[in-house]
Amino acid sequence: MKKEHTAENIANDIRRVCDEWDIFHKVCCIVTDNGANIVAAVTKCLQVKHVPCFAHTLNLVVQSARKNSEELRHVREKVKAIVTFFHHSVKASDKLAEVQEEKGFHKKKLITDVDTRWNSVYYMLERFEDQYEVITTTLCLLGKRQMCLSSDKLETVKSAVQVLEPFEEATREMSSEKFTTPSKIIPLIRALQDCAVSRKVNIFSLCDELQKQFAKKFTGMEANFHIAAGTLLDPRFKKVSCLHR
């Protein structure tokens, strides 16, 4: 859109495209992200049922939870500083590759996170945990011992990876292009809530924050007719318990 992204302009463009394809009378709901302008365009201007994108909402849940978890926030900053050091120094990155080869590790580049995608934090921590031994050795050889992550902070990294792993799997599952996904939303929410409780290991604040954000973003999901009906009509989930018994 070249014009201002107001609710009215967005609604007019959606309506124009639907009219070109003669499908507006068939539209029962519209899935979008959680932007106020797009939600208003759908619900107020077009007066069509709005369904928030599950993957986008899940991204907001984990982003908020990790930012509110003080212990994870501190570890993330420390890990990102180390990763950035290797990315900005050819000498350091070459030395890391040399140490990886000497110790029989696969030559893998370190991953940095991106603020707009929560799972990039997961990938950064997962790769860091996997390469911790060679990273620490390399930093010491380069005279950067002060940058090394302590053993207790490494435990926080391991705990975070363990807690966030199911959320990464859910994000990939819901990003599928070849299979229908709406019927999976309610079962996935239930499974992720259970994981946040069962995997409450050493990083307590992250698990607590995830549960708070779930309550904030996903309460009443079964009241959404289209999502609930999709789950009920999917034979794979006919014996799966609902969120609210």
What number is the average pLDDT over the span 160-164? 91
Whether residue 78 is predicted with pLDDT greater than 60 in this model: the reply is: yes
How confident is the model over 150-160, as a mean pLDDT? 91
Of 204 and 42, the structure prediction assigns the larger pLDDT to: 42
Specify whether the CB–CB gap between 44 and 63 falls below 8 A: no
pLDDT at 202 over 60: no
- Helix (H) / strand (E) element for 179: namely none
Residue 199 pLDDT > 80: no
As a residue count, the chain comes to 245
Range with lowest mean pLDDT among 4-13, 87-96, 183-192: 183-192
Q: Which residue has the higher pLDDT, 239 or 194?
A: 194
Please give the Cα distance from 54 to 189 (Å, whole number): 10
Distance CA 136, CA 159 (A): 19
pLDDT of 55 reads: 87
Nearby residues of 44 by Cβ (< 8 Å), 6 or more positions away: 7
Which pLDDT value is given to residue 201? 58
Pick from 20, 125, 12: nearest CA to 76: 125
pLDDT tens sequence across 86-136: 999 999 999 999 999 999 998 999 999 988 788 899 999 999 999 999 999
* One-letter identity of residue 175: S
List of residues 6+ apart from 2 with CB closer than 8 A? none
Provide the 8-state DSSP code for 223.
G
56-60, 62-66, 86-90, 177-181 — which is least confidently predicted? Answer: 177-181
| 143 vs 199, higher pLDDT | 143
- Among 150-154, 173-177, 199-203, 215-219, the minimum mean pLDDT is found in 199-203
DSSP designation for 245: -
